[in-house]
Amino acid sequence: MTITRISLLSLFSSSVLFSLLSILLSLPSSSSSSSSSSYLYPPDKQSRTRDLYSEILRDEAVARLNELGKVSDADGYLERTFMSPASVRAGILIREWMEDAGLTTWVDSMGNLHGRVEGINATAQALLIGSHSDTVVDAGIFDGSLGIISAISALKVLKSNGKLGQLKRPVEVIAFSDEEGVRFQSTFLGSAAIAGVLPVSALKISDKSGVTVQDALKKNSIDIAEESLLELKYDPASVWGYVELHIEQGPVLEWMGYPLGVVKGIAGQTRMKVTVRGSQGHAGTVPMSMRKDPMSAAAELIVLLESLCKHPRDFLSDCGNCNEFTMESLSTSLVCTVGEISTWPSASNVIPGQVTFTVDLRAIDDVGREAVLYELSNRMYQICDRRSVSCIIERKHDANAVICDHELSSRLKSAAYTAISRMIGEVQEEAPVLMSGAGHDAMAMSHLTKVGMLFVRCRGGISHSPEEHVLDDDVWTAGLAILAFLETHM
Ligand SMILES: [Zn+2]
């Protein structure tokens, strides 16, 4: 679900891969992350740490990530959802850290936390840097939080150097209240509100206990009505651009032995809810031939989804809008997941009356994604007809693929290069360019302004898991990259 895919063309056409590979192959153990990091971070780095703000960008940032990672609604694992008690406690902590970095803070009516410094020209277009403070269930501590904390740390370095007030334009860090969409099944509540693309109907979406988005905010003393939601939208003329730093959530950077990558674009995604209704009955008395079993139908629908997403070419031969580029991009980027299923009445001796499951479908090419959805829906309805059950397919969330701004991406690439050079003395290669299969707040923010993203290497490419891990030195490099970006371009 959170696979990050490298742009194969850019990877294989560049000499970067081969030179990195040759570096990796010359190491005693080329496959381990520790060996590649020891190449990138030689032992003599200690002599340079004084100039590289290790206390703020590494030690304090890592301590804060660990501290934030303990702020959870659950015992024994990390879970922090939109407007939950833990998310409010996390907001208090992040706010303290923003103020410690010299930022003026406030919480908006969608629960987003902002920290801003005006610089020398408060009316200039602002740079926004953000990521999300909510998590999935049983989450890792870096997803979202790393982007917020590295931005705060970089600004704290500028404050300690007396340069914070000299920024040419305002810089605003935003900790978005909802990106994962765990509680309301609708992602980007926070960033979509700021980008002005959150429909007012979102306020009425309910969680599993019937609490609406509006109720959840009200419970935390935030009154939001339709007008105040519309007022959250930033004026595009007041914004210069949006930058997000995030863990890669995939294995490519680790494989390449590189701590940072520049994101070329983010896959589009659709989330659906499929409800299958049949005839509820006694498991012992209704003959097999007379059943209208929604569970068996759901199983067939899920296997269909898997087959279609594994072999899209076999299913889309009639697709009029699909050219070779679309077919190729589907073959390399299409991923589909059923992550949640529920049944009613959910008893071992009852043929269910209803089965509901979710579908998460992602692809880099929007035309291809639509073609897949069209074909999938048609075939699902045919299966339901054949099995005499009823099917309702609801699209709950759609986000088009986003291509990052070219100029902003080059600036981020040179910032990454500067950071890595400062860490290891000299570096030959530029940061690699990746595509993201995971959604990010940058998708919503692209409706407001130009966006650019940096990825940070994570161990084994694992995320959405307590196993998620980023090396302390990579946290440091990430902070240095944001610092280099601010120092050079702001
Ligand atoms: Zn994330």
- What the block records as the tokens of 153 is 């740390």
* Cα–Cα dist 441/489, whole Å: 22
Cα of 172 to ligand 1 centre, how many Å? Answer: 19
Specify the length of the chain in residues. 490
* Nearest residue to 4 via CA among 246, 310, 180, 249: 249
Instruction: With cut-offs at 50, 70 and 90, classify the pLDDT of residue 51.
Output: low
* Pairs from 46-49 (Cβ < 8 Å, separation ≥ 24): 48/422, 48/423, 48/425
**pLDDT score at 41:** 63
> Is-contact 364 329, C-beta < 8 A?
yes
Cα of 459 to ligand 1 centre, how many Å? Answer: 15
> Is-contact 411 452, C-beta < 8 A?
yes
Q: What angle do CA 2, 8, 13 make, to 5 degrees?
A: 155
C-alpha separations of 190 from 72, 130, 240, 269 in Å: 19, 11, 19, 18
Cα of 180 to ligand 1 centre, how many Å? Answer: 7
Look up residue 443 and give its amino acid: M
pLDDT at 29 over 80: no
Each residue's pLDDT tens digit, 120-157: 999 999 999 999 999 999 999 999 999 999 999 999 99
Q: Per-residue pLDDT averaged across 182-191, rounded?
A: 89
**pLDDT score at 50:** 55
Could you tell me which residue, 40 or 185, shows the higher pLDDT?
A: 185
Q: What is the largest CA-CA distance in the chain?
A: 79
pTM to 2 decimal places: 0.77
Q: Per-residue pLDDT averaged across 38-66, rounded?
A: 75
Cα of 248 to ligand 1 centre, how many Å? Answer: 9
The 10 Å Cβ neighbour count of residue 478 is 33
Cα of 244 to ligand 1 centre, how many Å? Answer: 10
**pLDDT score at 363:** 92
Cα of 111 to ligand 1 centre, how many Å? Answer: 17
C-alpha separations of 84 from 72, 131, 213, 396, 402 in Å: 9, 18, 11, 22, 30
Contacts of 443 (CB under 8 A, 6+ apart): 188, 266, 399, 400, 402
Q: Per-residue pLDDT averaged across 65-91, rounded?
A: 97
> Is-contact 87 145, C-beta < 8 A?
no
- What the block records as the tokens of 415 is 């910032």
Lowest-confidence pick of 30-34, 352-356, 406-410: 30-34
Each residue's pLDDT tens digit, 220-246: 999 998 889 999 999 999 999 999 999
* Cα–Cα dist 447/435, whole Å: 19
Cα of 246 to ligand 1 centre, how many Å? Answer: 7
Cα of 29 to ligand 1 centre, how many Å? Answer: 31
Cα of 132 to ligand 1 centre, how many Å? Answer: 6
Q: Per-residue pLDDT averaged across 319-334, rounded?
A: 86
Cα of 188 to ligand 1 centre, how many Å? Answer: 11
The winner for highest mean pLDDT among 15-24, 42-51, 399-408 is 399-408
C-alpha separations of 465 from 139, 173, 224 in Å: 5, 26, 33
Lowest-confidence pick of 33-42, 166-175, 331-340, 370-379: 33-42
**pLDDT score at 186:** 75
Cα of 320 to ligand 1 centre, how many Å? Answer: 35
Q: What percent of the chain is helix, strand and coil (3-state, nearest 5)? A: 45, 20, 35
Domains and CATH numbers, the chain: 4-267+402-489 (3.40.630.10), 269-399 (3.30.70.360)
**pLDDT score at 12:** 32
Cα of 136 to ligand 1 centre, how many Å? Answer: 9
pLDDT at 216 over 80: yes
Instruction: With cut-offs at 50, 70 and 90, classify the pLDDT of residue 189.
Output: very high
Q: Per-residue pLDDT averaged across 401-425, rounded?
A: 93
